[in-house]
Amino acid sequence: METELIRFFDALPGDMVRTLPLMLATGVGVILVVWDAFRKDIRELAWISGAVLAIGIILEILQLDAEAGTAFYGMVRTGGYASFVNIVILSGGLLTVALSPAYWKRTGQEYGEVYTLILLATAGMIVLGTANNMVAVFVGLETMSVALYVMAGLFRGDEGSAESAFKYFLLGAFATGFFLYGIAFLYGATGTMYIPEMAAGLEASGRVMFFRTGVALLLIGFFFKVGAVPFHMWTPDVYQGAPTTMVGYMSTASKAAAFGALILILRDLMPAEGWAPLLASVALATMVLGNLLAVLQGNVKRMLAYSSIAHGGYILVGLTAGGAAAWSGALYYLLVYTLMNIGAFGVIAFLEWDGKAGREQTLDSLAGVGIRKPLLGVTMGCFMFSLAGFPPLGGFLGKYAVFAPAVDAGYTWLVVVGVLASVVSAFYYLRVLYVFFMRSPEDTPKAAPAMDAAFPTPFVLRIVLVACAAALLVLGIAPGLLDVTLGFF
Phi, psi of 71 (to 5 degrees): -140, 160
* Residue 347 near residue 461 (C-beta atoms within 8 A): no
Residues 232 and 224: their CA atoms lie apart, in Å, by 6
- Element containing residue 104 per DSSP (H, E): helix 81-107
pLDDT of residue 336: 94
* Poorest-pLDDT segment among 2-11, 204-213, 370-379: 2-11
Residues 421 and 410: their CA atoms lie apart, in Å, by 19
- Answer with the residue of higher pLDDT: 416 or 298: 416
pLDDT per position as a tens digit, 103-130: 888 877 777 788 999 999 999 999 999 9
pLDDT of residue 175: 85
pLDDT of residue 104: 83
pLDDT per position as a tens digit, 136-178: 999 999 999 999 998 888 877 777 777 878 888 888 888 888 8
**304 HSE (CA, 13 A, CB side):** 35
Cα distances from 318 to residues 142, 160, 216, 287, 341, in angstroms, run 26, 35, 19, 13, 20
pLDDT of residue 448: 58
* 3-class DSSP state of 194: strand
* Residue 214 near residue 283 (C-beta atoms within 8 A): no
Phi, psi of 243 (to 5 degrees): -55, 135
β-bridge partners, 77: 70
* 3-class DSSP state of 392: coil
Burial 432-459 (b: 16+ CB within 10 A, else e): beebbbebebeebeebbeebeeebebbe
Residues 470 and 32: their CA atoms lie apart, in Å, by 32
Which DSSP category does 322 fall into?
-
Relative orientation angle of helices 244-268 and 134-152, to the nearest 10 degrees: 170
- Element containing residue 199 per DSSP (H, E): helix 195-205
Residues 115 and 119: their CA atoms lie apart, in Å, by 6
pLDDT per position as a tens digit, 457-474: 788 889 999 999 999 999
pLDDT per position as a tens digit, 198-213: 888 888 888 888 888 9
DSSP string, 331-369: HHHHHHHHHHHHHHHHHHHTT--SSSTTSS--GGGGTTH
Which DSSP category does 271 fall into?
-
Q: What is the mean pLDDT of residues 405-424?
A: 93
CA dihedral 222, 199, 88, 52 (to 10 degrees): 100
Q: What is the mean pLDDT of residues 266-273?
A: 70
pLDDT per position as a tens digit, 230-242: 888 888 888 888 8
Residues 308 and 41: their CA atoms lie apart, in Å, by 34
Residues 415 and 419: their CA atoms lie apart, in Å, by 6
Alpha-helical segments (H) within 439-488: 451-454, 459-477, 480-486
* Residue 124 near residue 144 (C-beta atoms within 8 A): yes
* 3-class DSSP state of 76: strand
pLDDT of residue 144: 92
**Which of 313, 328, 304, 143 shows the shortest CA–CA distance to 223?**
313
pLDDT per position as a tens digit, 425-450: 999 999 999 988 887 766 666 655 55
**Which of 171, 341, 153, 361 shows the shortest CA–CA distance to 254?**
341
First to last CA, the chain: 35
- Answer with the residue of higher pLDDT: 119 or 478: 119
* Residue 178 near residue 141 (C-beta atoms within 8 A): no
- What angle (nearest 5°) sits at the alpha carbon of residue 18, between those of residues 13 and 22? 100
76-78 and 69-71 beta bridge pairing: antiparallel
Q: What is the mean pLDDT of residues 388-415?
A: 92
pLDDT of residue 272: 47
Side chain identity, residue 281? S
**Which of 92, 86, 89 shows the shortest CA–CA distance to 64?**
86
Side chain identity, residue 425? S
pLDDT per position as a tens digit, 46-100: 899 999 999 999 999 999 888 888 888 888 999 889 999 999 999 999 999 999 8
Can you give the pTM of this predicted structure? 0.93
